[in-house]
C-alpha cells in the first residue's frame, strides 16, 4: 500500500493572512453543524483535541494534505497498537517507509470514525513548532465529512449531513480524481485542483490542497514546469535559517482558480530533493491558508474558496 503524505513539514513562507479579533468561542458553523475551535501553531497549523481508542485527548494537526492519519511512535507505544505492515509515504522532498496500524476509533468534538488506518511516523519537524502535537488528522478521517475551515474565525466544521453544502454559496471548483487509483489509500483520494499560473500559460497545473503547510510549493524535477518556472528559482540568502534554505524562492505567480485570479502567490520549490521520490500526478501544494475560508465537499468532490 502506498500513500502520499504531502505536507509542508519544514515550515516555509507564511501566506500573510491576518486574523481578526473575532471571538472564536462565539463563532458557529453553518446550519449548526458541530464546531471545533482549533488553536493555531506557527500562525498556520490548525490543532484540535483528539481521542484515540477512547484515550486522550491528544493534540492533532488537521491536515488535508495527508491521506492517512498519523501518530507519533511514543503515542503508538502508549496505546499498545500493533503494526499491520509497512506503508510507503511521500513527503515534500523525500520518500520513506512507516508502520501502519488500525485504530479502534478516532474522535474529535462530537465526530467519530471507527477502525481507521494510521501511520506511525516521527513528527519531529512538526513538534519543533509545538511539542504537544502527537499526531495528524488526515483525509481518511476528514474524508468522512464535508469540511469547512474558517481561518478568520478560527473554526473547523465537520458535517456528515450535507447541511453546509446546501447553505454555502460560491464557485464550485471540481476536485481532480487521480488517473492511477491503484496507489491510493482506500476512501482517501487526495484533494487536487487544476490551476493556471502566469508563467505557464494555458497549461493546467495540479495542486493538492494542504492545511498542513504554511505556503505554496511546486515540486522540483517536474519536466513540465522546469523550463517555464523551476529553473528561475532563487536560493535564499545566508540570513535565512537552514530549514528555510531547504526551499528556493520562485517568481510570484498570478494564479487562476476557476474564474478568479489570486495575484502574486509566493511559491517555493524544494532544494536537493531525494532521487528516490516516486513520480506524482500533482505538481505541488496549495496551502489552504491562502484563503479566509475553504469548504470541501467530500460527498460531491468539489471545493468552494471563500464561500458566502
Query: How much is the pLDDT for 120?
Result: 93
DSSP SS3 for 275: coil
Asked if the model's pLDDT at residue 227 lies above 80, the reply is no
148 strand-pairing partners: 157, 295
Asked if the model's pLDDT at residue 76 lies above 60, the reply is yes
24-167: which CATH topology? Cathepsin D, subunit A; domain 1 (2.40.70)
Query: How much is the pLDDT for 232?
Result: 81
Is the Cβ–Cβ distance between 61 and 126 less than 8 Å? yes
Task: Say how far apart CA 210 and CA 96 lie, in whole Å.
Answer: 20
Q: How far is CA 128 from the centre of its chain?
A: 18
* Pair type for strands 253-257 and 69-71: unpaired
Is the Cβ–Cβ distance between 59 and 46 less than 8 Å? no
Q: Where in the chain is the domain with CATH 2.40.70.10?
A: 24-167, 172-305
Is the Cβ–Cβ distance between 188 and 140 less than 8 Å? yes
Average pLDDT, the chain: 83
The CATH code of domain 172-305 reads: 2.40.70.10
C-alpha cell at 149: 475551515
Query: How much is the pLDDT for 22?
Result: 43
Residue whose C-alpha cell reads 447553505 in the numeric block: 167
Of the candidate ranges 160-164, 247-251, 290-294, the one whose mean pLDDT is the lowest: 247-251
Task: Say how far apart CA 291 and CA 28 lie, in whole Å.
Answer: 18
Residue 156 CB neighbours (<10 A)? 23
- Write out pLDDT tens, residues 120-145: 999 988 899 999 999 999 999 999 99
Residue 132 CB neighbours (<10 A)? 10
Longest CA span, the chain:
52
Residue 116 CB neighbours (<10 A)? 23
**Per-residue burial over 191-225, b = 16 or more CB atoms within 10 Å of its CB, e = otherwise:** bbbbbbbbbbeeeebbbbbbbbbbbbbbbbbbeeb
What's the CA angle centered on 69, arms 7 and 298, to 5 degrees? 85
C-alpha cell at 125: 519537524
Asked if the model's pLDDT at residue 54 lies above 90, the reply is yes
Asked if the model's pLDDT at residue 235 lies above 50, the reply is yes
Of the candidate ranges 259-263, 267-271, 278-282, 303-307, the one whose mean pLDDT is the lowest: 278-282
Amino acid at each position: 500500500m502506498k500513500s502520499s503524505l504531502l505536507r509542508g513539514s519544514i515550515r516555509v513562507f507564511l501566506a500573510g493572512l491576518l486574523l481578526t479579533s473575532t471571538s472564536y468561542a462565539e463563532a458557529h458553523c453553518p446550519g449548526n453543524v458541530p464546531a471545533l475551535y482549533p488553536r493555531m501553531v506557527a500562525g498556520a497549523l490548525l490543532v484540535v483535541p483528539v481521542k484515540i481508542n477512547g484515550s486522550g485527548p491528544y493534540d492533532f494537526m488537521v491536515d488535508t494534505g495527508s491521506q492517512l492519519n498519523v501518530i507519533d511512535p511514543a503515542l503508538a507505544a502508549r496505546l499498545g497498537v500493533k503494526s499491520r505492515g509497512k506503508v510507503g509515504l511521500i513527503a515534500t522532498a523525500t520518500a520513506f517507509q512507516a508502520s501502519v496500524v488500525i485504530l479502534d476509533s478516532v474522535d474529535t468534538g462530537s465526530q467519530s470514525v471507527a477502525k481507521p488506518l494510521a501511520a506511525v511516523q516521527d513528527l519531529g519537524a512538526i513538534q519543533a513548532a509545538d511539542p504537544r502535537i502527537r499526531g495528524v488528522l488526515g483525509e481518511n478521517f476528514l474524508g468522512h465529512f464535508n469540511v469547512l475551515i474558517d481561518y478568520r474565525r478560527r473554526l473547523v466544521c465537520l458535517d456528515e449531513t450535507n447541511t453546509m453544502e446546501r447553505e454555502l454559496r460560491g464557485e464550485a471548483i471540481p476536485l481532480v480524481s487521480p488517473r492511477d487509483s491503484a496507489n491510493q489509500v482506500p476512501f482517501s483520494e487526495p484533494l487536487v485542483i487544476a490551476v493556471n499560473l502566469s508563467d505557464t500559460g494555458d497549461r493546467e497545473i495540479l495542486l493538492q490542497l494542504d492545511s498542513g503547510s504554511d505556503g505554496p510549493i511546486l515540486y522540483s524535477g517536474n519536466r513540465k514546469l522546469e523550463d517555464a518556472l523551476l529553473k528561475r528559482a532563487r536560493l535564499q540568502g545566508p540570513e535565512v535559517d537552514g530549514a528555510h534554505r531547504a526551499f528556493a524562492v520562485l517568481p510570484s505567480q498570478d494564479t487562476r482558480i476557476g474564474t478568479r485570479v489570486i495575484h502574486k502567490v509566493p511559491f517555493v520549490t524544494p532544494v536537493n530533493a531525494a532521487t528516490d521520490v516516486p513520480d506524482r500526478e500533482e505538481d505541488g501544494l496549495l496551502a489552504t491558508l491562502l484563503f479566509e475560508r475553504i469548504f470541501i465537499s467530500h460527498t460531491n468532490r468539489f471545493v468552494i474558496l471563500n464561500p458566502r
